[in-house]
Amino acid sequence: MEIIPAVTYTYLRSKKKFPNVWCAGCGIGIALGAIIRAIDNLKLDRNDVAMVSGIGCSSRMPVYVDFNTLHTTHGRALAFATGVKLANPKLKVIVITGDGDGLAIGGNHFIHTCRRNIDITTILINNSTYGMTGGQYSPTTPFMKIGTTAPYGNRERDFDICNLAKSAGATFVARGTVYHVTLLEKIVQQAILKKGFSLVEVISHCHTFYGRLNKEGTAVKMMEWQKEHAIPIQAAAKLPPEKLKDKFLIGTLWDVDFPEYCEEYDKVIAQFQVPPEDSEGKK
């Protein structure tokens, strides 16, 4: 059998930046693979891709890939990315964030970037915890689950990320998991193609902290949980409500059209800017 080197390797800064920080068994690498393949499938010029992130395990991703990359401050990736996109709308701007970075410290930027419908693709990797700092509970730690700052169970409710994005105004919302990797590749591809703000929530696992604290077993066990609890949205439509209890939907959950912000902005400029020939010597 002929061995073809995976396309993902050709996009990695493998000589400079490896080994990576992720624990063995982490789902973020799987998500990275899916994102790279999606970009490769779309035949995007890698120099036209700008990957922006904040701080956290998932936010380390841009460090390892050969695109234009911007590694910024905690929670602010979407604000930085907005600047990138407005200044250079030709770039395909992809934001990599996590549940802590994107929804806690960066929650305000999250809702407003959704609302603004700027053409940014956001991949939010949800592992239900602050992994990098050692397993504190995050805005997506489920009710009564353990974190190092909630040793007897988290008494706060977790965010429904996809519904939040939809309500805030995102025009494309999808959910995948690191177990359903083919689907993930497909929805990331759709998200990149979408003109407007698109959000992909990637259900992942932190077996090192969250899994250990909550006795959810190995990375493999946690991925099996994803397999057992994810229901494709098409299949869900045919299932009775009791079969959907404790399950979550995967696939494209929301896809609508609304004017994109950069284009709207250009329209304002076009409408009110004095043409160059008129501006010379006619004042």
Partner 1 sequence: MKKVIEGSMAVAEAVKVCRPHVISAYPITPQTHIVENLSQFVADGDLKSQFVNVESEFGAASVILGASATGARAYSTTTSQGLLLMTEVLFNIAGLRFPVVITCTNRAVSAPINIWNDQQDVMTIRDSGWILLFAEDNQEAADMHLQAFKIGEHPEIMLPVMVNMDGFILTHAFEPIEFIDQKMADEFLPPYKPELYLTTKNPLTFGILAEPDWYMETRYRLQKAIEASSDMIEEVADQFKKTFGRYQGGLVEKYRLDGAETVIVSMGSVVGTIKEVADELRDKGKKVGVLKIRAFRPFPKEAIYDALKNVKNVIVMEKAISLGATGILYDEIKAALYGKPSQPKISGFIAGLGGRDIPKESIMKVIEKGEAGISDNVFVDLKENLIGGK
Nearer to partner 1, 73 or 190 (CB): 73
CB of 54 to partner 1, least distance (A): 10
Span interacting with partner 1, options 7-15, 101-109, 112-120, 184-192, rule CB under 8 A: 101-109
Q: Does 212 bind partner 1 (CB under 8 A)?
A: no
**Binding-site string for partner 1 from residue 57 to residue 96, where x marks contact by CB under 8 A and - marks none:** --------------xxxxx---------------------
Amino acid at 24: A
* Residue whose CB is less far from partner 1, 157 or 221: 157
Tell me if 217 contacts partner 1 by CB under 8 A.
Answer: no
Cα separation, 243 vs 235, in Å, equals: 11
Indicate whether 17 belongs to the interface with partner 1 (CB under 8 A): no
The interface region with partner 1, picked from 104-112, 117-125, 227-235, 260-268 by CB under 8 A, is 104-112
**How many binding residues for partner 1 (CB under 8 A)?**
23
Which one of 2-10, 102-110, 220-228, 270-278 is the stretch in contact with partner 1 (CB under 8 A)?
Answer: 102-110
Q: 91, 132, 168, 230: which one contacts partner 1 (CB under 8 A)?
A: 132
Which CB sits closer to partner 1, 106 or 251?
106
Count other C-beta atoms under 10 Å from residue 114's C-beta: 25
Minimal distance, residue 82 CB to partner 1, in Å: 18
Residues from 160 through 199 that contact partner 1 (CB under 8 A): none
| Interface contacts to partner 1, rule CB under 8 A | 55, 71-75, 100, 104-105, 107, 130, 132-134, 136-137, 139, 148-152, 156
